[in-house]
Structure 1
């Protein structure tokens, strides 16, 4: 009953409408104080006079000048805000067709006598913003994000889903590339999941979702790009933010962060730090039923596991900008994190014969103690040759990742009479290092007639070294396990160049780009006394075009049609190319695949926007798509990455938001997706297809006396993707916040109120085997968060520094 109420609740949101974009004339002027001096960093807003809806926001320059571009014909108001309050509002401003520029001249702001402590910051960002090539989620707009992590925020983002293994997909497609502040994470799998779960949501500013990124972004990641923007305060003087939270589910967790900045004239210093303690558990049930060629049942395997995972993590950022002039800036940023994850898993494995009689029983105790650390350094430069003129930017990045994992697997073996027989032990010591050096330069040149040309070059070099030492213990005797012990080294160089052209017409906007990438990679598997050396080399070049077209169906820009096309590549994760075997337990092994090919894909998308409503249809086709594949031999379960010959995805979605009452805001996202996978497989031909539905709704309530509330939830129907069928699931969350003072907020959030987020599924195309799983985690959790801001409250211009774009987050450790 709860599930049907949830589906009805989400479907009700489907009557909402969404945000749109406009383009056209310019509004410019100069903002002066009462002494005639230019005001730096004032918040300038252009709003529609009819309903006061926000059209565009900018910040005044150091000399007080400001300019708004792309304003469609209509009647507008100009608001000026200083220190969080409005100090000026214009008379009606009329923009007519054919008017290129509306010059307001000098606007003088009279001296304000009210002290800072009396000022209340009341500005509020929209939850969702739609741009020509991306969707932006403003993190602080969701109360339920308080005290959570970056991974939790992604799970609430429109079109984004995270599976039980931490794999991220966008609009039904895997292979999503993750960026942090326009820089690659170079992580994947469990390591990426661990990092995102250690990054407090309070350190995040926004999530940029690009299902078809423009040519400036590297071509890697067929599922698109998700760019996580962290907070970089740019306030004059000294500013400090503190966030402390505690969460309680079955176990207690905490997420805490602090950020600061100091800006004085030409120098800005900023930083943040976070500490998190992860503490969770889940119950995992795995079953496998065996049959013969005639279809008769021959036996079964049943595994019940209690997974206990905990660990702490710290992360930090320290940066500085120096601007010798208004046209030039230099910057340096240092980043790092340290994580200490631990898992202690207890499982009981029952093997029965065809009659259901016990053949053997294995009780396992698997303990893993890991470490993961990172250091990154970025040097960036930007220069504008003149105001509103050409600009050039350059970035040099160095990243180092280290990891280690000590594994102790103990298996107690019992006979058919449940009598103890013997004990088996497996010990592993895994170490890994990754070094990445990247350099890039971008140049943009605007021309008259609303034409802009951009281009750039990039070169990156990656080197990895991974070592695994295993030993077996039986009867008190320990011997090396040469079948599992290995050392794998990998080197890769990617060279790229791109060109991008933007042109705005009366109602048309066109953006076209072309990217060229060359990849040269070399891998070497070092041998041992039982295994010989092996190596491989690959070199390939690809062209990746992109095209974005936008047409305004009316002069006001209320109705728009948008079209985009792109070709992309997905390269194998570094660790997936390692051919050796890594155990997960006695009956389950992970095996690498040195024969993985790069996967190339194409995607086309058409979007219609009407006022605050948007809907889109997309189609993508991929060749040699990467996916987890499962093979069973002699009752042992082997998981390895493989190329799926053909994968086609057709998707329709709607994204909407409406304010039916002054105190109520509704957001809705709905998606209907069909996936068809076809490939040669271990057991013959794999040809699976299926349609699934995903619904997401958010209701925000603005109450009296500084109180706000939120209710959100999502529903996903059964999903068929390649070899796997994942069952339906849903969840509901709630949040409550109280503004204690202009600088202090208290928030309470509860995730998965009914604890319905249970992952279950089946595995197809197994040789004479039916298999599936059910996983129930500690998903219901209450989190209390206190947020405080100290220091100056006058904003400067936002940071426009760009970092090295990702070639891929392809590290799997």
Structure 2
């Protein structure tokens, strides 16, 4: 009895396995029989000359009598199409493409033996009249809602001209950009910025300069992903904002050029162009953009010193009033060039070079007056001159390959990248001290610094898509990256007219990082239900070596990042979606480097080599009505949240900021997006968000909770004035907010623009004005322990720009989309 009971589970398990095998064999047999009785239709669409394959053409199989669609598909990059698993019967094939006359075949007869029908080459005849009509009227809607993202199509927007990619972000639904260029999404800071589906491997400051130097007319659309799928890197706790740059979509030899000019507090101008040639076997392309951005900003810092913790009913001992004027000219050169070789109808090999070069000067004058609050007498006034000249060069080399299998939708892509990034900074800080009547107090102080930074990035990436059925597919992929950064900051101070090394402020920091990732993503549809489930695993190994103090920080960890999307259509006009994802935000390389950057002798910033990555759980329930109205309820919880915190030394009247890990950050709220067409000549998109942010932490042994309920509004309106003239008006409003220990006051901005098509619609003339009333100003208050600080930053945001764009070459078909694998890490490169 004992033996019988002991082995009974084993026998039951064996019987279960045998039964499962029998069922599996039966299912496979049935599938085989079914497939044997089904046929295949294939062919190739070419231009009338028979030279160029027509990509993305619509092809459909129709019933003979009712002309109902049985199956539909699109041609691939070489013009090929195929239909599989077609039941025996009679069909008609129809093919259509913008700019061509539609094609309709004779009756196709599929026999019971399932023999394939190969239609061979099908020539489509160009339709000049149709092409002209589409050129005038066809335009994507400003806002599109997809399964896992919201898309803002800015390519034809008036407001996209004459500004920068950074300023465009401020107009996207739910996106906010602060004075340092940090991007938040629906009230959550830490959004990851991508270019063409990949990150940029740059530090926050360098990414800001890159986006400031990228002309807005180079941007096609902005994609907002609150819950990205497992296919994307897990970085970005607030989600991903993807800036999609324009691609040349024409065949033959064609291109465009743009010139713009205008002024804010200083002049701004830029120019650029693109050239593309596509033949049957090769596609050669390139573009270049130059931009100059003169910028002047005003910054005020008021710091109160209590010689102890801040008490609301206690007057301060001393107050520092600091005012800074900055002159910040920025020159940028962005280029992109490459070639695609169409080896055959299923294999494409490409090479690509991306480049970003620039120089930036920070020239500021600062006055810092210290007042004794008990007597009201100035103790001293420090006047500082801060001159920092920066140069950078970032070049990425990419080799890419795509193989399209015979089965529709099945393909394999691979990328190998090498990215070289160099950054240098030469800075000088001179300070003189004066008494209350303007007489010198002792000797002046002088500091100089040299900051060379070198970062190399190596990335290999592989993605594979396998259709399972007509309604289901699986995506698999892997990625490995290696980053090596070397930052050697050297400071000298002037002592007795001799430069002496400042070893306390200097720092040499080396950083290496390995990230190995793999993902699986399953997408399926059953009638009114769509499901996407994904899982991504990432192994991270880092080594930060502070050579100056011989301090070493090693970390290695493995994390799983699931994602989930479930969509249910309620009827023809409504649908519900539930989305969940887990994400990570790793520290920027510069944030890990403990070097110091001085604004003046009493205010500086330094990194933290002990920063830990933060982890976020994101949950969202949304309802869509008529594809024009979207309501979303979201909840997000982040642990070890990274935040720039202030510290203060009352004895030396010094305040400094460094990134720290707080305990947690909680964000929840409700948002509403609406696309409206109030009249045939007035369309718009509008976004509103009500949210609550809660920060909790224990910095320096303290204990604080900072929370507030906020709301934001964003509205974009387009007006059709005449056949070739249109105008736009946009604006946003942000209420009181919190960030770490600080609180921000409300601010808003209003923008407008007008455009006219000229030269037979081959050129566009646009005039736009950003921040008409110059109201985009940041006011913040921070009060915690002995910190009591007020900040007022007046950006150079009011700007008028006039731009002219001319397009040449014949209209044609979409060219191959080119992405690299290395852009995922670039926004974290130290500089």
TM-score, normalization by structure 1: 0.87
What is the CA-CA distance between 1:794 and the residue it aligns to? 1.4
Of residues 414, 423, 426 in structure 2, which corresponds to 1:394?
A: 414
Is 1:685 the equivalent of 2:699? no
Match of 2:272 among 237, 250, 257: 257
Query: CA 1:662–1:385 in structure 2 vs 1: closer, same or farther (change >3 Å)?
Result: same
Q: Does 1:697 align with 2:715?
A: yes
- Distance in 1 between residues matched to 2:196 and 2:126, nearest whole Å: 38
Q: CA deviation at 1:34?
A: 7.5
Q: CA RMSD in A?
A: 2.8
Q: Is the 8 A contact 2:201 2:826 kept in 1?
A: yes
Is residue 2:256 matched to residue 1:241?
yes
Moved more, 114-123 or 663-672: 114-123
Which residue does the alignment assign to 1:359? 379
Q: Which residue of 2 aligns with 1:190?
A: 205
Instruction: Tell me the equivalent position of 1:304.
Output: 323
Matches within 5 A, 1:563-712: 563-611=578-626, 612-634=628-650, 635-682=653-700, 684-712=702-730
User: Pairwise mapping of residues 226-625 of structure 1 onto structure 2 (< 5 A)?
Assistant: 226-291=241-306, 295-354=314-373, 355-421=375-441, 422-527=443-548, 532-554=549-571, 556=572, 558-611=573-626, 612-625=628-641
> Would the aligned equivalents of 2:193 and 2:243 in 1 still touch at CA under 8 Å?
yes
Q: CA deviation at 1:136?
A: 1.3
Q: 1:651: how far off?
A: 2.1
Offset at residue 304 of structure 1 (A)? 0.9
1:664, 1:67 → 2: CA distance?
Answer: 42
Of the structure 1 ranges 586-595 and 801-810, higher mean CA displacement relative to structure 2 is found in: 801-810
- Selected match of 1:757 from 757, 765, 776: 776
CA distance in structure 2 between the partners assigned to 1:270 and 1:149 by the alignment? 23
Shift, 1:188, TM fit: 2.7
Between 251-260 and 460-469, the greater mean CA deviation after superposition: 251-260
Equivalent residue in structure 2 for 1:172, among 170, 180, 187: 187
| Higher RCO structure, 1 or 2 (CA under 8 Å, sep 6+) | 1
Structure 2: runs of 5+ lacking an equivalent:
1-40, 61-71, 85-93, 105-116
1:797 deviation in Å? 5.1
Distance across 2 between alignment mates of 1:117 and 1:182? 32
Instruction: Tell whether 2:236 aligns with 1:215.
Output: no
CA contact (8 A) 1:150 1:200 kept: yes
The 1:113–1:480 alpha-carbon spacing in structure 2 relative to 1, beyond 3 Å, is closer
Distance 1:710 1:63 in 2: 38
Question: Cα offset for 1:41?
Answer: 4.0
In structure 2, relative to structure 1, the CA distance for the partners of 1:186 and 1:805 (3 Å cut) is closer
The SS at the match of 1:156 is coil
**1:40 to 2:54 alignment:** yes
Structure 2: distance between partners of 1:563 and 1:616: 10
* Matched-pair contact (CA < 8 Å) for 1:686–1:722: no
Deviation at 1:391, TM superposition (A): 1.5
2:457 and 2:822 in contact (8 A); partners too: no
Moved over 3 A (4+): 27-39, 41-46, 56-68, 78-83, 86-90, 105-122, 800-805
Give the TM-score taking structure 2 as reference length. 0.85
Q: Distance in 2 between matches of 1:747 and 1:30?
A: 41
- 1:337-374: CA deviation from partner (whole Å, max 9, x where unpaired): 11110121011100011232100110111111110111
- Alpha-carbon distance between aligned partners in 1 of 2:609 and 2:144, rounded to the nearest angstrom: 42
Q: Distance in 2 between matches of 1:478 and 1:45?
A: 75
State the distance in 1 between where 2:177 and 2:404 align.
Answer: 41
The CA deviation at 1:796 is 3.5
What number of residue pairs does the alignment pair up?
A: 747
CA-CA distance at 1:60 after TM superposition: 7.4
Higher Rg: 2
Name the CA distance, whole Å, in 1 between partners of 2:767 and 2:810: 27
Q: Is contact 1:60–1:66 with CA below 8 Å preserved after alignment? A: no
1:392-449 deviations in Å (ceiling 9; x for gaps)? 1111111111001111111011124431123111101111000000001111110125
Contact 2:624/2:631 (8 A) holds in 1: yes
8 Å contact kept, 1:177–1:808: no
Alpha-carbon contact 2:98-2:131 (below 8 Å) kept: no
Q: Is the 8 A contact 1:42 1:80 kept in 2?
A: no
CA contact (8 A) 2:55 2:78 kept: yes
- Aligned equivalents of 2:555, 2:671: Cα separation in 1: 38
Alpha-carbon distance in structure 1 between the residues aligned to 2:655 and 2:78: 64
Is the 8 Å Cα contact of residues 262 and 270 (structure 1) preserved in structure 2? yes
Distance 1:639 1:63, change over 3 A: closer
Structure 2 equivalent of residue 778 of structure 1: 796
Please show how residues 15-164 of structure 1 align to structure 2 within 5 Å.
40-41=54-55, 62-63=78-79, 65=81, 80=96, 82-83=98-99, 87=101, 112=127, 120-164=135-179
Contact 1:221 1:808 in 2 (8 A): no
- Per-residue CA deviation, residues 695-725 of structure 1 (Å, 9 max, x unaligned), is 0111101121411100110111010122111
SS at match of 1:190: helix
Secondary structure of the corresponding residue to residue 437 of structure 1: strand
Question: How far apart are residue 107 of structure 1 and its match?
Answer: 9.8
Q: Could you tell me which residue of structure 2 aligns to residue 19 of structure 1?
A: none
Shift in alpha-carbon separation, 1:87–1:784, aligned structure 2, 3 A: farther
Find the aligned partners of 2:102 and 2:616 in 1 and give their Cα distance. Answer: 51
Q: 1:44 Cα deviation (Å)? A: 5.2
User: Contact 2:417/2:820 (CA < 8 Å) preserved in 1?
Assistant: no
- 1:186 and 1:738 map into 2 onto residues whose CA distance is 38
Matched residues in 1 for 2:757 and 2:608: separation?
54
The 3-state SS of whatever aligns with 1:809 is helix
SS in 1 for 2:546: strand
Residues 199 and 801 of structure 1, relative CA distance in 2, 3 Å threshold: closer
CA contact (8 A) 2:366 2:600 kept: no
| CA distance, structure 2, for counterparts of residue 504 and residue 212 of structure 1 | 19
CA 1:363 to 1:454, structure 2 compared with 1: closer, same or farther past 3 Å?
Answer: same
Say if 1:42 and 1:82, in contact at 8 Å, map to a contact too.
no
Whole-Å separation in 2 of the counterparts to 1:82 and 1:331: 27
Among residues 751, 768, 788, which one is paired with 2:806 in the alignment?
A: 788
Q: What residue ranges of structure 1 are gaps of 5+ in the alignment?
A: 1-26, 47-55, 69-77, 91-102
Which moved further from structure 2: 409-418 or 191-200? 409-418
